[in-house]
Structure formats: structure tokens, C-alpha cells
Amino acid sequence: MSWNKLLQPDLILEGSVLNLTPEILQRYGLKGMVLDVDETLVPMKVASASAQLQQWVKEIRQVATLYLVSNNLNQTRISGIARSLNLPYYLGAAKPSRRKLKAALAAMNLPERQVAMVGDRLFTDILAGNRLGMFTILVEPIIHTDVMTSSFHPLRNFEVWVSEFLGASITHKRHRLPKVNKASGTKI
């Protein structure tokens, strides 16, 4: 598989993971999600899930099986986040290694193409998911406002630049999803 295909997300979501709805998962035939933790679900150094994230997980669980897979090695922090969301997890994944993603897929008992790898990083989350044939979703990082603004994320900016240099379409191919009226199910 070429580098541009390995680094190309199947879906680029504007905004954070909280913009990922059950309707979007259903539209793509997704029945499971492997979620990165740091800056995908919570800002760095935050040790528990926000009430908003907990509500999002509750809604998503109605249509998909969820698993956390983090590169972070901090057992106390990652287990605390997993407990606050009542989700199973793996830490120390060393993504783009596929080992712990394969373990999560086996635990979910779903085929790769029905499971999304959701994350904020191209060279870890998206690359790992694409290497396994998963559906990959790139989200904007959730960054603590005391640390930096969302427009200043040097590592992510470098990854986007390199990915585009290698032929992936990251900034020019943002998928703007129509908003859906939850009551009627119609597009707004």
C-alpha cells in the first residue's frame, strides 16, 4: 500500500470527536470504534472524562461497540478515563503498531471494515487503522486551552504537511457533513 493511502483518512471530521454522531456511523456501516485517548477524547493531562464526553459515549454505545487504545503508558490516568466512560482499554499501544488494535478488534468480534479507528494523529492513529484495513476517522484534537490554541499544534501541522507531500489529501478534502435534525432525521 502506498504512503498516500496509508495516511489518507476515510473521513475527516470537522471539529472534535463529539461531532461524530450515531447517524454518521450508520451511514458508513460502522458497528464499532477504537478510540484514541489523548487529545482525541480528553486534553493531555486530564484524568477523567467530561460530562459532555460521557453523554456522547452513552449515545454512541446505542449503535457501536467502543474500545479505547492509547499509546500513553500512564496506567492510573488511562484506567481512570476508561472507568469514567465504563469502557475497556489498552494502553502502551505503540501505534502505528497493530498489535493492540488487533486485540481490540478480536474482543469486539467485528470485521475490520465495520470498525472505525478514530484519532487526532495521522502517523499513529490513521496509519495504524489503515494498516489493518479499518475505516479511519481523523478528528481535530481536543487541547487544553491553558496549553495552546487549536490553531497551534506543531506536530499535527507537520504530519499534515508530510502527508500531503506524500499524496494524501488532508486539508483540501475536508468532509463537511450535513447536520441532521434528530427529531425528523432530515438534513438541515
Per-residue pLDDT reduced to its tens digit, 176-188: 454 444 444 444 4
Q: State the pLDDT at residue 143.
A: 79
Q: Compute CA distances 175 → 10, 26, 178, whole Å.
A: 10, 16, 9
The stretch 158-168 carries a mean pLDDT of 61
Tell whether the model's pLDDT for residue 174 goes beyond 50: no
Q: List the strands of the sheet with 89-90, edge to edge.
A: 11-12, 135-138, 115-119, 32-35, 65-69, 89-90
The stretch 62-83 carries a mean pLDDT of 97
Tell whether the model's pLDDT for residue 16 goes beyond 50: yes
The stretch 149-168 carries a mean pLDDT of 58
Distance separating alpha carbons of residues 39 and 86, to the nearest angstrom = 19
Distance separating alpha carbons of residues 160 and 4, to the nearest angstrom = 11
Tell whether the model's pLDDT for residue 107 goes beyond 50: yes
One-letter amino acid of 78: I
Element (H, E) at 24: helix 22-27
Q: Which domains does the chain have, with CATH numbers?
A: 3-165 (3.40.50.1000)
Q: Which cell is 107 given?
A: 474482543
